[in-house]
Amino acid sequence: MRLRISLSFRAQFVIKKILEHLPIAYFKAPSIDGWPDDGGVKFDDYATRYRPDLEDVVKGLNLEVSSGEKLGICGRTGAGKSSLTLALFRIINASKGRLLVGGRDVATVGLQELRSQITIIPQDPVLFSGTVRCSMRHCLL
């Protein structure tokens, strides 16, 4: 428990130092009243990478999730599951295509506005006794 608290404190300190050196305009954009008016997410020929000198980790993704739909993403290690989450929060940016949330390209939304409107369930492994279908039903209720 002590290690976790110590790491958390250090992470907060590092983030604070980074924020001090970034221009405020990077985080602030004109507020979008009522955005998102629905919870739809659309990846349109989307590709992303962790650094400009690396190859894409997600390539040519076309996916549309309507408001109210529940989605589970499964795949082997290195398949890009976590990269999709990082893309939603614009921790990594698109190298190609667009990512729309509520009909608006996230590249045009300020980080503070974007991140205050999105919530995810962390990728913690939880297993219930029974079938995979039963486990998914408990997680998605």
Per-residue pLDDT tens over the stretch 2-19: 444 444 555 555 555 565
pTM as predicted: 0.64
Output the domain CATH number for residue 115. Answer: 3.40.50.300
Domain span at residue 111 reads: 2-140
End-to-end CA distance of the chain: 30
pLDDT at position 114: 87
pLDDT at position 49: 93
Arithmetic mean of pLDDT, 123-137: 64
Tokens (6 digits) for 118:
């999105």
- Alpha carbon distance 7, 69 (integer Å): 35
The number of domains in the chain is: 1
- Alpha carbon distance 124, 75 (integer Å): 15
**Residues composing the chain:** 141
User: For 49-104, how does the pLDDT look when each residue is reduced to its tens digit (9 = 90+)?
Assistant: 999 899 999 999 999 999 888 887 888 888 888 898 899 999 999 999 999 998 88
